[in-house]
Amino acid sequence: MQKNAVLTVDEKNIRGKTVVYQRVKDQYLNMYIIPILERNWSYKDAVTDEIVISWRSYEATGGWLSRLIGFPEGSPPYTFNGSCLAKDGFDFDFKNRDIHIKDEE
């Protein structure tokens, strides 16, 4: 998961652009023993529709033991941190890069 939770930015073409949040459907990854939700975040250039900023995050909830015992469904795993985020994803500095965010189309 961690290798996929990276921030990708087209640094040379992004400065001064207007971007639009590109809604991507969240998905559950079913190939693991615990439920893992993959969230994709991306922004596209308002003119070219090219994805210029993107990152993924992962959220895990308790596995089969938590569900068997009856802990609340939203509880995190007990053996590790239940989330994996891109290092600077949610802290990306749009303003410092002169990037303008346009409301969804």
Across the chain, mean pLDDT equals 79
74 versus 97: the higher-pLDDT residue is 97
Report the relative pairing of strands 18-22 and 100-102 from DSSP bridges. parallel
pTM of the model: 0.70
pLDDT at 86: 72
Higher-confidence residue of 103 and 88: namely 103
Name beta bridge partners: 41.
55
- Residue 70's pLDDT band (cuts 50, 70, 90): low
Averaged pLDDT, 33-52 = 88
CB burial of 37-57 (b: ≥16 within 10 Å; e: otherwise) equals ebbebbbbbeeeeeebbbbbb
Within 1-105, residue ranges assigned H as helices are: 11-14, 64-69
Token pair for residue 59? 């959220």
Residues shown for the chain: 105
